Each structure stands twice: as structure tokens, then as C-alpha cells.
Amino acid sequence: MGVNQLSRLYGDKPAVDRVSFDVERSEVFGFLGPNGAGKTTTIKMLTTLLQPTSGGANVLGFDLKTEGRKIRERIGVVQQQDSFDQGLNVETSLDIYGLIWNVPRTERKTRIEEVIARFGMEEFRKMPTVDLSAGQRRRVQVAREFIHDMDLLFLDEPTVGLDPIVRRALLDYLKERVHKGLTIFFTTHILEEAEYLCDRIAVINQGRIVQIDTPENLKRRFGSARAVEFKLLQGSSEALASALSSSADVTRLVQDSGTGAYRVTTTRPESVIPEIYRLAERHAVTVSSIYIAETTLEDAFIHMVTDDENGRETERGLG
């Protein structure tokens, strides 16, 4: 897939501003950005749901503007919103979806059994979709795309609402399908997913592409901020966290709700580590463990988006 200067305006405001990139066959191409960056608008254009204002694209060898029907015949799409008849049970919903795609009855039955097993849907296969939890509905929505044949799959935040075990099973299944020739265009707000699944990543911010590269190269180039992780014997201390957050050397501080560990993003870990011990003593808590963690894709992503926004502010100031 080749995208060339693709744009979409709403009034005089660009939601997508002259984006260009290529996606290789059997590649997982990540498309990451903050809320409102233009990810979903780009997907809607590439899947022929929305006409571009300017620019164009070649999708699976077909022109986006003139051969939309041929594109739709060869792609799968999982949107953020629910998009199935909630009056049907899961098994019937999958069967009708396959029927719409003209999948023969015997083949439909085989594929339905496969996705029900692979997506862990056996216990609710006879339940009406209206009675499913958000995570269960999401599983059905992703699973049904594998009832029909496709060469390119667009996934717009497909793991929203899924628990960690189901999420990892889905990502592993996607990897299997990619090894068999499927190409995936993938958006997510969970950066660990992108790092685990994607071959290359494009970062979009305010409608423009900021960077395109492999996850490792992005971490290497934009992960200058280091992460210091530490735990307290007492579990947590709001006073310590508040004081540490206000430090000039701390870019970001978060606490992992699962492990209780604090993660501090900083460019000067050699200054932050002594500061953590000083604050712990001041607030009468004990640091039980501390270490400098490996740079993550999330660290690099925050750095890229922040630098881009600072650069735009500078441009506006000069203008």
C-alpha cells in the first residue's frame, strides 16, 4: 500500500495533513498518535468510508479514488464502534457475516469453530450479543473478520476492553496470520502492544506524520529520556510522589496499579535517584528497590510528540 500526500479537511482545519507512507506485504504497520491526531480519519479514507480532500493512495494495487469496490472486496476492517446486530447470538452473528461475504456454508462452519476456539468464545457462543460485556463484544467484532478471506486488515484499537490474557492471545493470533501472508494496519494506545506486534511504526500528531521507523530504531533515536523504577516498603506515598513530580529533572511520574512500582521518566537519573532517597527520608518511608529501567517505546513516543508540539509552538511564535 502506498499513500501519497493524503489529506482531509473539515472546514478549513486539516484532520489529516499530507501524510505519505508505504506498507509492505505481510507487515504489521503501526499507526500511533494522541487522541485526535488523525488516526481514525486516515483509516476511514484508506477503507473508502471517507473521501480524501486531496492526495491519494494505492491499496492492494487499486486506486483509492476510482477502484473503491475492488479495495473493499480484499480488506477487513475493525472499527472502534460496535457494528453488528445485537439481537442475534454470537454464533448466528458470525454465520451471517460470513454469508454476507459469500463464504460457502461448509467453510463458514469450519472458520466459525476455529475463531470461537482461538478467541475463547465457547462459553458465550449462544448468548445474544446485546448481553455480552464490552470485552466479549470486542472479541466477536475482531473474530468475525477472520471468517472471510482478506489480504489487508485494518484494526482500530482492537484490544480495547480485553483482559491481558485475551489480549496476548489475540496478538499472537495476528502474528500467525501475518506469517501466512496477511498485512495489518494497526492503531493502539497501548504502546507495549505496538512494540510486541509491529514491524514498523508511523507516529502521527495533529494530522502530520512525525516519524516512521522500527520500534527499536525509534527507541534508540528518541529514547534519550531514561526511566527509573522504584518501590516503597509502605506501598505508596502521595506526599513523596507529589514532591518528586515537581522536580525539574522529572518529566513524568506514574505508579503501576498492579505492581505498586513508581516509574520516573528523566534525562538525569544520576540526579533523580539521590532525590528519591532524600524525599523518602523526609516523608518517613523506605525505598525497598530501585533501578534504571530500559527505555520503552512509550518513552520514545512521548518524546517525539512533545518535541513535535514544541516545534509547532516555535513555528507559530516565529510566524
What share of residues in the chain are helix, strand, coil (percent, to 5)?
40, 25, 30
- Is the entire prediction scored with pTM above 0.85? no
Tally DSSP H helices, then E strands, for the chain: 11, 14
pLDDT one digit per residue (tens) for the chain, 319 residues: 999 999 999 988 999 999 999 999 999 999 999 888 999 999 999 999 999 999 999 999 999 999 999 999 999 999 887 766 777 899 999 999 999 999 999 999 999 999 999 999 999 999 998 899 989 999 999 999 999 999 999 999 999 888 888 999 999 999 999 999 999 999 998 888 999 999 999 999 999 999 999 998 888 777 666 789 999 999 999 999 999 999 988 988 999 888 899 999 887 888 999 999 999 999 999 999 999 877 778 777 877 887 777 777 665 655 5
- pLDDT for 169 equals 92
> Residue 292 forms beta bridges with which residues?
228
- pLDDT for 12 equals 87
Q: How far apart are the first and last CA of the chain?
A: 36
Strand order in the sheet with 2-10: 13-22, 2-10, 54-59, 62-63
- pLDDT for 5 equals 96
Phi, psi of 228 (to 5 degrees): -110, 125
Closest CA to 68 of 79, 56, 80: 56
Q: Which domains does the chain have, with CATH numbers?
A: 2-220 (3.40.50.300), 226-294 (3.30.70.100)
- pLDDT for 214 equals 93
CB 147 within 8 A of CB 110: no
- pLDDT for 268 equals 85
| Crossing angle of helices 164-179 and 134-143, rounded to 10° | 10
Residue 318, Cβ neighbours under 10 Å: how many?
6
- pLDDT for 319 equals 54
Closest CA to 263 of 213, 304, 227: 227
State the DSSP H helix or E strand holding residue 142, giving kind and residue range, or none if neither: helix 134-143
Q: How large is the C-alpha radius of gyration of the chain?
A: 23
